[in-house]
Structure formats: structure tokens, C-alpha cells
Chain A
Amino acid sequence: MNLIVNGNETNVDGELTVNELLTEQNVKMPEMVSVELNGQILRRSEFESTKLNEGDAVEFLYFMGGGHASERATD
């Protein structure tokens, strides 16, 4: 399945939930991350139940650091 993760085209194997993507992408401090799916912030309680679909755009957002607020800054 093709996804856009933090602005990058990413291919993942099989069906994934948001929680599984967090693990798959080795996201640091997953308890701290906010997830935007196709422009909408997901409630934390939805991470486990939300299945991703082909072409979905996922952003992992933090607003805890000193500077910017997105994992996209690692690009």
C-alpha cells in the first residue's frame, strides 16, 4: 500500500492501523506524537482502530520541542 508519510511517498506491506504505522516507521516517543490523517487530527483513542487506506497522507506532529513542530523537519 502506498502512503504519504510526513510528505514522503512510502510503501508499506499489507493493511495497517495508525498504531501499527507508528511502530513500523519507528516513530520516536509515540506517546507524544499527534497524528494528522488527510488533514484531520486523529483522537489518540482512534490510533488503534483507524485503518489506513491507499494514498492516505499521514503526518506525525510534535509540539513539545524548542523549534518546529513536525517530523517533516527531518527531511
Chain B
Amino acid sequence: MNISTLAIHGGLTGDGSSGATAVPIVQTVSYAYDTAQEIADVFAGKAPGYIYTRIANPTTTALELRLAELEDGIGCVATSSGMAAIASVVMGLVKTGDEIIAASGMFAGTVSLFKSTLGRFAVKTTFVDSADVKQFTKAISGKTKLIFVEAIGNPRMDVPDIPAVAEIAHRANIPLIVDNTVTTPVLIKPGRFGADIVVHSTSKFINGHGTAIGGAIIDTGNYNWKTGVFEDISKSCEGAGRLAFLAHLRNLIYRDLGGCAAPMNSFLMLQGLETLAGRMAKHCESAEKLAQFLRGHPKVSWVNYPGLEDNEFHSRTAKLFDGRGGGLLTFGLGERDKAFRFIDSVKLAKNLANLGDTRTLVIHPCSTIFHEFSPYEQKQMAVTEDMVRVSVGLEDFEDIRDDFAQAIETSCGD
């Protein structure tokens, strides 16, 4: 099946007993068994079954199976948020004294997790410029346990050479984790380019309507956990085979951290998934048109969108994303004050901290999402004082363009 079909029909669909086409919301904490022996067998792993929604839930299972199919993975664990997904994956792989290599210019929440929270447990992260793959090789030490990149860096808008970075990771026998939130499996299935684990904030394009927080972890099946550098995970290969990492999460890390997906949210993600492919096509089309409009505008200082032909990552979007540049772009009006006035002047677009919504969204990253970082750190992450980030929505392009045109005139008027 192709991606639009899979997004609707993949994994578990509907409810066999009633004929309902939507996946039922199983809004329960726990699951009753007839006998003490039956529940004991499930706890011991001797029989399959649901125990407690913190560990697994039927609505969430339907989401997990569909996401695994969409990413061409061997399995998935859905989480309460994208950050819960990243935290679970990374804490499932690193121990005190270990090291991470990550691209700079990524989502501030991920940078903060790596730098501050994991730093408290003596896990060191080296941030590298993903445009220069040699920096990944240079940063690897005997303590490095994983490489983490975003398929399109938010807000740097860089596109790492995923096949080259995967090769570097695999030469060191460590996994490459790719955050596919901004691109979704519609633009790229990172596993096909060598990524070992894919993570998502499903709150963004997958949900698509700004109605629920969620995340997901997909094992692409590329990394051999049996011969990998993670002793405790290779031990669990005995019972779990190729699913060892996901079992390690489900039975330990995810279970213990408690970042489970809410059944209602899993339902909303499934509903969003059904239209993902069509929405992504429109997001990409309008983002490219808006990038071209902004580039041609005399009062706009710069535009950063990988789908533009003269963008340094344009050829990579052709190689990795089938020529599509995604629904996100950044641009500058030269000064912080102008950026503020622009945001104050848009009428259609919403000023809020999210992306991937039906609505066009704008934000000033420097004073919001990245406010806790020093000017030096912001510079390293390519966040500038005049930057406006735009998540291009599904409104008619002409209306988005007219809104931006009037807001630029208002904010940059003489």
C-alpha cells in the first residue's frame, strides 16, 4: 500500500464487533481478568494482554501499529509528548558518563534535555553543525552512545545528510536517531536512509489540528541490538529478538518514567493521520509559494526555506524528501522590533508556540522557545534577533500571502 492508503487503512482500524470505522477510545486505567492465574501470566509475560494503560492501551496500540507501518518500522511505542519520546529513547540508551552527539539548531526542548537535564546525570552532549558531516566523526569518542538529528532542523532549517551520518554512527556501532516531526513519513522514512530509531512529536503535523499532545518512538529494524554496544539490551534479545529495544522501553524505561499516551489523544492522532499525506502536500506547496513571495519582497532581509532552489540544502531535499521542502520556514526583517511589529500585525496567522497546525502560525523564537539560552548559544543554534518562524497552514495561499503583505507593510512602514 502507498502512504495515503496506509495512513487510513494501516494497522488496526475500526471496531470489528460493531462495524464502527473509527478506532474506539478505550478510556480505562486497567483491564479485568477472570482468574488470578490469568493476570499473573500476563504480568509474567507468559500470555499477552493489557495490564494498565501506563504500559499499553488498545487505542494507543492501534496508533502504534499504524505509525510503525507508516515509518516502515518493526514496532512503535507511543508517548505522552514528543519530549517524552526523546527522553525515553535517550534514557533507554545512555548511562552516567556516556556521551551524545547532536546537531545544533534543533528544537530548544531537545537541546535543554540534552544539555541541562541529562547534564545533571553527567551525560555529555556535543553539538555539531550538521552541514559538515566530518564534525560528527570528529566528535565520536569511546563513550558516545548515540547520534541525534532532526530531518529538518527547527529552527536552523538545515537538512543533515542522513545516509552519511548513519554510516558514521554504524562505523562506531552506535544508533542514529532521527526526529521526523517536521518532515513526517510523507516526506521521508528515515529508516530507508539508514536511521535506526525515528521519534516524533505527534502533536505537530500528525495530529495536524493543534488538539492533542503526543509522541512516538519507532524502531526501524536497522540496528542489531544483539551485537550493539548496549549490554542490557542485547541480553533482552534472548526473549524479545529484534524487538529488544522496544521491549526494553515497554518493560522498563517507558513503564518506569510514566510518559504514556492518553487514549483520547491516541484517537485524535489516528484521526489526524488519516489526512496526513494530503495535508503535507498542501503545507509544502504553500510554504514554497510563501518563501518565494517573501524572497521577492523588498522589505524582507532574508528567507530560509530548504525548498528554495538557491538554498544550500535544496539538493538534499531532492535526495531525501523527493524535492519537497516541508511546511516550516524562517525569515527576517532586519531588526527585532520589526519582527515584533510583524507578529503584532498579522490578522489571520496565530502567534503561538506550535507547528504543523491547520492554521498558519508565527512566533519570534529568540524571545520565546529559545529565551532561556544565552545570546552565544542562540547564535550557535542559528536563532537571530530578527527571526520569525512560520508554520504555513492550510488556508488558501492568497489569504496567507495577503496577511503577510499587510503585516510587513505595517511593521516596516516609514
Nearest chain B residue, comparing its CB with the CB of A71: B48
Given contacts A64-B61, A66-B251, A67-B251, A72 and B49 within 8 Å (CB-CB)? no
Nearest chain B CB to A38 CB, angstrom units: 11
Within A25-75, the residues touching B (CB, 8 Å) are 28-29, 31-34, 36, 39-41, 43-45, 59, 61-74
Nearest chain A CB to B148 CB, angstrom units: 23
Nearest chain A CB to B293 CB, angstrom units: 42
Nearest chain B residue, comparing its CB with the CB of A31: B12
Q: Does B246 contact A (CB under 8 A)?
A: yes
Q: For A64, what are the chain B residues with a Cβ–Cβ distance below 8 Å?
A: 48-50, 55-56, 61, 250
State in angstroms the CA–CA spacing of A65 and B75 once bound together: 15
Q: For B46, what are the chain A residues with a Cβ–Cβ distance below 8 Å?
A: 67-68, 73-74
Q: For A32, what are the chain B residues with a Cβ–Cβ distance below 8 Å?
A: 48, 61
State in angstroms the CA–CA spacing of A67 and B42 once bound together: 8
Given contacts A44-B11, A45-B69, A66 and B243 within 8 Å (CB-CB)? no
State in angstroms the CA–CA spacing of A44 and B251 once bound together: 22
State in angstroms the CA–CA spacing of A31 and B15 once bound together: 13
State in angstroms the CA–CA spacing of A39 and B244 once bound together: 12
- Please count the residue pairs between chain A and chain B whose beta carbons lie under 8 angstroms apart in the complex: 105
**Interface stretch of the complex, out of B163-171, B234-242, B336-344:** B234-242
State in angstroms the CA–CA spacing of A29 and B16 once bound together: 14
Given contacts A34-B74, A39-B241, A65 and B246 within 8 Å (CB-CB)? no
Q: Does B1 contact A (CB under 8 A)?
A: yes
| CB–CB B55/A69 < 8 A | no
| CB–CB B243/A41 < 8 A | yes
State in angstroms the CA–CA spacing of A51 and B399 once bound together: 55
| CB–CB B45/A45 < 8 A | no
Nearest chain A residue, comparing its CB with the CB of B239: A70
State in angstroms the CA–CA spacing of A62 and B68 once bound together: 15
Given contacts A34-B75, A73-B45, A59 and B251 within 8 Å (CB-CB)? no
| CB–CB B74/A67 < 8 A | no
Among A33, A39, A40, A62: residue with most chain B CB under 10 A = A62
Nearest chain A residue, comparing its CB with the CB of B65: A44
Q: Does B257 contact A (CB under 8 A)?
A: no
In-complex Cβ contact of A68 among B45, B68, B72, B246 (8 A)? B45
Nearest chain B CB to A48 CB, angstrom units: 13
| CB–CB A63/B43 < 8 A | no
In-complex Cβ contact of A39 among B47, B51, B74, B242 (8 A)? B242
State in angstroms the CA–CA spacing of A33 and B74 once bound together: 11
Q: For B69, what are the chain A residues with a Cβ–Cβ distance below 8 Å?
A: 43-45
| CB–CB A67/B43 < 8 A | yes
| CB–CB A73/B242 < 8 A | no
Q: For A34, what are the chain B residues with a Cβ–Cβ distance below 8 Å?
A: 74-75, 243
| CB–CB B242/A40 < 8 A | yes
State in angstroms the CA–CA spacing of A32 and B68 once bound together: 13
State in angstroms the CA–CA spacing of A45 and B70 once bound together: 12
Nearest chain A CB to B141 CB, angstrom units: 31
State in angstroms the CA–CA spacing of A45 and B55 once bound together: 25
State in angstroms the CA–CA spacing of A44 and B50 once bound together: 20
Q: For A45, what are the chain B residues with a Cβ–Cβ distance below 8 Å?
A: 1, 69
Q: Does B247 contact A (CB under 8 A)?
A: yes
Nearest chain B CB to A63 CB, angstrom units: 4
Which residue numbers of A lie inside 8 Å of B, CB to CB?
Answer: 28-29, 31-34, 36, 39-41, 43-45, 59, 61-74
Given contacts A63-B247, A70-B241, 16 further A-B contacts (CB under 8 A): A28-B48, A29-B48, A34-B243, A41-B74, A59-B241, A63-B250, A65-B45, A65-B48, A66-B45, A68-B45, A69-B239, A69-B247, A69-B251, A73-B44, A73-B45, A74-B46
Q: Provide a sorted-by-A list of 13 A–B residue pairs whose CB atoms are within 8 angstroms.
A: A41-B75, A44-B68, A59-B241, A61-B240, A65-B44, A65-B56, A67-B43, A67-B251, A68-B239, A68-B240, A69-B45, A69-B240, A69-B243
